[in-house]
Structure 1
Amino acid sequence: MNAERYMVRAPGKLFVAGEYAVTEPKQDSLIIAVDRYLSVDIQANRSNRLDLPQLKLTDISWKLDEEKVTFSVQDQRLNFIKHVIETFIAYAGEQSPVHIFVTSELDDRSGKKYGLGSSAALSVALMTALLKFSTNSQAAKDPLTIFKLASIAHFKAQGNGSCADIAASTYGGWLNYRSFDSDWLIAQLNQAQSVSALVQSDWPDLKITPLKQPEELHFLIGWTKESAQTAPMVAKVRNLKTEQPERYQAFLQDSQRAVEQIITGFQQGEVEPIFAGITANRAALKMIGTEAGVPIESPALTKLIEAVSTHGAAKTSGAGGGDCGIAFVSDPADCEHIYQLWTKAGIDPLDIHVSTDGVVIY
C-alpha cells in the first residue's frame, strides 16, 4: 500500500473590485488571496474515506461506478467534493484508495462566516492533493492545470460563476482576473469533451495577471457581522441584462473603467488612482444595486465605508449585502483610527492580510 502522505493548504479570497461585472466576457476584476486557509490531509488507506469534522461529517466512505462517486451518506455539502473527485478521475484515472481529512480556518471558530470562499479553497486544495497523490503528480505543480480542473469541477457542481475565487486560491497574492468564456466551457462540457483535452485547450478570454501592492498602500478588512445570500442577489443583477440592457451595459462600462484605474495604480505604484478607482467602483455597484433592487451596500457596510472617507477609499467586497468591506489608506497611522471607528460602529476589524502564496503542498 502507498505509504505517502501530504498536507495541502489553499488560501481564502476577497474581491477587491469588479464584482458582478466579472461574470461577463472581457471584464476585469481585482481579487486577493487572504491568509486564512483550508487544509487537506491525504494519505493511503485500505478504502476511500472522507472526514470533515468541522461540518460533523466523519467516517464517510465512497465508491466509484463508471467514474461517478457515491458517498455513504447523502448531504448537499458534499456536492463540490463529489465533482472534484469525479473531475480528477476523468483527468487522471482511478487511483489507489485514500483517506482525506479536511480542516478550515476560513470561518471563525465560533461558526461566524466571513465570506472568504470556502468552496473554492476546498476545490483547489482537494484537487491539488489528489493530483499530488496520483501517478500524474507533476500536474500538482502547475497552477494553470489546477485552476482549470477546479473550475471544471465548479461548473459541473454549480453551472456558473466567474471562478475568480478559484484563481485566488490557486495563485495567491493580488490578481488582475478576467474570466474565461463560460458559454464556451459549458458547450465543451455538454459536448462531452474530455477533461484532458479541456485542460490542454486555451480558454477564451481568460486572464490571470499577478500585481504588486504599492509600498504606500495599506489594506484593511472589516466584518459587518451580517451574512448575505449571494445567489439571489447575483440573479437579480443578471436579470437587468434582459430587462434593462442599456443600464446593465452602462454598469459594465463604469465597472471596467474603475477597475482599469485601480490596476493602473498598482502598475505605477501610485495610491491616488487606486483610491479614485475604488470610489468609482463603489458608485457603480451602488447604482446597479438600486436598479436591481439588491441591497449591495447594507447600512453596516455604508458605515464601514464612510469611516474611511477622509483617509482613503473603501467599498463592499464580493456580492455585498453583508460579510466584509475593504478599505485602502496611504498613512499607516490612519489604520488604528479607522479600526476604532469601525469598532464603535459595531464592525469587527479582521486581522487578515494578503497571502502571497496560493495552494501549497507540504
Structure 2
Amino acid sequence: MPSNTTIVSAPGKVLLAGGYLVLDPAFSGLVVATDARFYTLIRPANLSKEATSSPSKITVRSPQFENATWNYLVDIKDKDVQLSPSAQDESKNTFVELALAYSLAILGHLIPVENINKTLDTGLEIVIAGNNDFYSQRKELENCNLPLNSDSLRRIPLFTSTHTTLSKVHKTGLGSSAALITSLVSAIFIHFKAADLTNQDPTTTAFLHNTAQFIHCLAQGKVGSGFDVSSAVWGSHTYRRFSPELLQEIMHNEARNQIPTLLKVLDPKQTAWDNRVASFQLAPQLHLMLADIDAGSHTPTLVSNVLKWRKNKPEEANGLWTQLGKANDTVVELLKKLDQTSKDAPVEYDLAIHKASAMPAAEWESLLKQTIKEKSAIIELLIQIYNEFQTVRQYLRQMSQLSEVPVEPEEQTRLLDACLTIPGVLMAGVPGAGGFDAIFCIVLSDESRKGVENVWSNFKEMSVGPLLCTESIEGGLVAELYQDAEPSSGCSNFTVVKRLIDL
C-alpha cells in the first residue's frame, strides 16, 4: 500500500499600507504576498532516515536551525486526543506544539478515531522549512566570503542553515510564524483527510484560516490584527480585521478542555467571522523589492507605544489616523485602477511604463507634454500613486514625531528618498509597523531594480541587505499530495519539493 507524503506551503507577506491602522476594524490594510514561502512536509516516520518509527509518535524537525527536533506522543481516548512533548528534547517550540495539540484535538471531533490511529500507526515525521528570505543570511555570506548582494544570495542553497537556534535567529519580517502555523495546521488536516484544498471550497479555506488565526493568537498570547495569517491563506488582498471578541473569550477559558465550543467558533457555518478580504494584484511591470535592515526593531514594543499614545491623546491620534486611512485607501484604489487600465489599454500601458521607467518619479510631470492622451492618462495615474504614497509617508513621519516612536526613522527617510531618485521607482516605504527592520520599493524595470540595489549597497548609515523574493503570482495556500515519497517531474515547485523530501 503506497504511503502518502503531504506538502503544504503558505506565503510570507508585506503590509504595504495600513500599519497600526489595521489593528482597528474601522480601517483596512493592503497586504501583498511574497514568493518566499513556508513549507510543511508530513510523511510516515518509516520513510525517514531521521525519525524513529513507532506508533503514536510524532517527530518534528526544522533542519535550518540548531537543536530543532521536537518529539511528541499522542494519546487517544474516545474523541479526546492529547499531545505530550518529550522531556528529553533540548528545546521547546510553543508554536509547533500548540498547532499540533489543537489540530489533533479538533480532529478527534471531526473524523473517526480509528482513522487517526491508522494514520499514526507507524508514527509521523514533520519537516518544516522556510525560504531563505525569512531569515538574515549575513552569517552564511560571511562564511562563504561573499558580499552582501542579490548575486551572492542566489548562490546559497535552498533552506540553508541559519547557523543558530530558532530563538536567536534574525528574522526579516516576512511573517514567518504566521506562514509556519498556517502551513502546519493545513497540512495536518489535509494529511488526516479532514480537509481538501483541491476543490477550492471556500468553507474549507475559511475553516483553515480561522483555526490558524486562533492558534497563532494563542501562541503569541494576544489577539493580533491577523493580516499575516490572512495573507498566508488568501495571498495578496485588502484586509479588514475580524472582531477580536470572536477569539478572546475562548482563549481565556482554556480552549483545550472545550473543543466542541472551540469548533463552533472556528466553523464558518456556525459562526460568522466579520473579516473582509478583497483580492488584489500589482499591475503588470510593477515589481516589489524588499530589503532587510540589520538594525532591528521590536515590533510589539513599537505597536504598544503607538497605541499608548493613541489612548493618551485620542483627539490628536484619531485625527491623524483618519487622514492616514484615507490616504492609504486612495493608494489602493489608484493601484487597482492602474491594473484595470493595463487590461483596457495594454499597448498604451506598456509604452507609458517604458517611458516612466527612464526617469525619476519626481520628473514624470514633464512626460505629460510629450505623450498622446491615452498614455498621458496612465502617466497621470503613476504620478497620483507616487504623490499619494508620499502623503502616506508624510503622515507616518508625523506619527513618529507625535508618538515619539520611530515608525519612519530619519535614517530610513534618507534611504527611501535616495531610492526615489532612481529612474522608475514608483513607491518606497517602511512596511508594517515600520522601524529599523525592513524597507520596500516598487519599481518599473530591471534597470530600476539594479539602481535601487546599488543605492542599498552604498548606503553608509545602515547595513541594507536585499531579499530575493518579490510579489507572489501563486499566493495563498498550496497543497501537494504524493502517493510515493518522490514528486513527479511534472509537479509544480519540483526543485523545492525534491529538496524538502531530501532534508
Report the 3-state secondary structure (helix = DSSP H, G, I; strand = E; otherwise coil) of the residue aligned with 1:35. Answer: strand
Q: Give how far 1:222 is off.
A: 2.5
Indicate the residue corresponding to 1:171 in structure 2. Answer: 234
Identity of aligned residues (%): 22
Asked which structure has the greater CA Rg, the reply is 2
Q: Give how far 1:2 is off.
A: 8.4
Aligned residue type for 1:166: V
Deviations 1:56-112 (A, max 9, x none): 234421135655533225788611112212331343227343211111222144345
Q: Give how far 1:203 is off.
A: 4.4
Aligned residue type for 1:130: I
Deviates more, 1:144-153 or 1:265-274: 265-274
Deviates more, 1:143-152 or 1:105-114: 105-114
Report the 3-state secondary structure (helix = DSSP H, G, I; strand = E; otherwise coil) of the residue aligned with 2:64. Answer: helix
Are the counterparts in 1 of residues 320 and 395 from structure 2 also a CA contact under 8 Å?
yes
Summarize the Cα distance change of 1:203–1:56 in structure 2 as closer, same or farther, 3 Å threshold: farther
For 1:27-46, what aligned pairs fall within 5 Å after superposition? 27-45=27-45, 46=54
Q: Give how far 1:187 is off.
A: 2.8
Deviates more, 1:217-226 or 1:124-133: 217-226
Are the counterparts in 1 of residues 67 and 91 from structure 2 also a CA contact under 8 Å?
no
Q: Which of 277, 283, 288 is 1:208 aligned to?
A: 277
For 1:87-236, what aligned pairs fall within 5 Å after superposition? 87-93=102-108, 95=116, 96-97=119-120, 98-105=124-131, 106-109=134-137, 110=140, 111=162, 112-138=170-196, 142-158=204-220, 159-172=222-235, 174-190=236-252, 194-201=261-268, 202-236=271-305
- CA distance in 2 between counterparts of 1:300 and 1:76 reads 37
Summarize the Cα distance change of 1:15–1:42 in structure 2 as closer, same or farther, 3 Å threshold: same
Indicate the residue corresponding to 2:85 in structure 1. Answer: 71
Q: Give how far 1:340 is off.
A: 1.5
For 1:307-326, what aligned pairs fall within 5 Å after superposition? 307-310=418-421, 311-326=425-440
Q: Give how far 1:127 is off.
A: 0.7
The reply on whether 1:9 has 2:9 as its aligned counterpart is yes
Aligned residue type for 1:30: L
Q: Which of 55, 76, 85 is 2:65 aligned to?
A: 55
Are the counterparts in 2 of residues 307 and 342 from structure 1 also a CA contact under 8 Å?
no
- CA distance in 1 between counterparts of 2:74 and 2:6 reads 23
- How many corresponding residue pairs? 361
Q: Give how far 1:206 is off.
A: 0.6
Report the 3-state secondary structure (helix = DSSP H, G, I; strand = E; otherwise coil) of the residue aligned with 1:32. Answer: strand
Q: Give how far 1:136 is off.
A: 0.9
Q: Give how far 1:120 is off.
A: 0.5
Q: Give how far 1:204 is off.
A: 4.5
Q: Give how far 1:190 is off.
A: 4.2
Summarize the Cα distance change of 1:138–1:204 in structure 2 as closer, same or farther, 3 Å threshold: closer
Deviations 1:151-191 (A, max 9, x none): 0101222212111111111222x211111111332135446
Summarize the Cα distance change of 1:53–1:350 in structure 2 as closer, same or farther, 3 Å threshold: closer
User: How large is the Cα RMSD of the aligned pairs?
Assistant: 2.5
Report the 3-state secondary structure (helix = DSSP H, G, I; strand = E; otherwise coil) of the residue aligned with 1:34. Answer: strand
Deviations 1:183-219 (A, max 9, x none): 3321354465723222334544311111121225333
Aligned residue type for 1:61: N
Summarize the Cα distance change of 1:336–1:133 in structure 2 as closer, same or farther, 3 Å threshold: same
Q: Give how far 1:264 is off.
A: 0.6
Are the counterparts in 2 of residues 28 and 256 from structure 1 also a CA contact under 8 Å?
yes
Are the counterparts in 1 of residues 382 and 426 from structure 2 also a CA contact under 8 Å?
no
- CA distance in 1 between counterparts of 2:231 and 2:436 reads 21
- CA distance in 1 between counterparts of 2:175 and 2:286 reads 24
Deviates more, 1:130-139 or 1:159-168: 130-139
- CA distance in 1 between counterparts of 2:197 and 2:101 reads 16
Indicate the residue corresponding to 2:344 in structure 1. Answer: none
Report the 3-state secondary structure (helix = DSSP H, G, I; strand = E; otherwise coil) of the residue aligned with 1:115. Answer: coil
Are the counterparts in 2 of residues 222 and 304 from structure 1 also a CA contact under 8 Å?
no
Indicate the residue corresponding to 2:477 in structure 1. Answer: 359
The unaligned stretches of length 5 or more in structure 2 are 46-53, 141-161, 163-169, 339-380, 481-503
Summarize the Cα distance change of 1:301–1:185 in structure 2 as closer, same or farther, 3 Å threshold: same
Summarize the Cα distance change of 1:360–1:101 in structure 2 as closer, same or farther, 3 Å threshold: same
Deviations 1:42-68 (A, max 9, x none): 012331111122232344211356555
Summarize the Cα distance change of 1:233–1:68 in structure 2 as closer, same or farther, 3 Å threshold: farther
- CA distance in 2 between counterparts of 1:275 and 1:200 reads 42
Are the counterparts in 2 of residues 26 and 205 from structure 1 also a CA contact under 8 Å?
no
The unaligned stretches of length 5 or more in structure 1 are none
Aligned residue type for 1:361: A
Summarize the Cα distance change of 1:247–1:267 in structure 2 as closer, same or farther, 3 Å threshold: same
Summarize the Cα distance change of 1:299–1:152 in structure 2 as closer, same or farther, 3 Å threshold: same
For 1:272-311, what aligned pairs fall within 5 Å after superposition? 272-310=383-421, 311=425
The reply on whether 1:262 has 2:331 as its aligned counterpart is yes
- CA distance in 2 between counterparts of 1:58 and 1:334 reads 40
Are the counterparts in 2 of residues 90 and 195 from structure 1 also a CA contact under 8 Å?
no
Are the counterparts in 1 of residues 10 and 179 from structure 2 also a CA contact under 8 Å?
yes
Deviates more, 1:288-297 or 1:272-281: 272-281
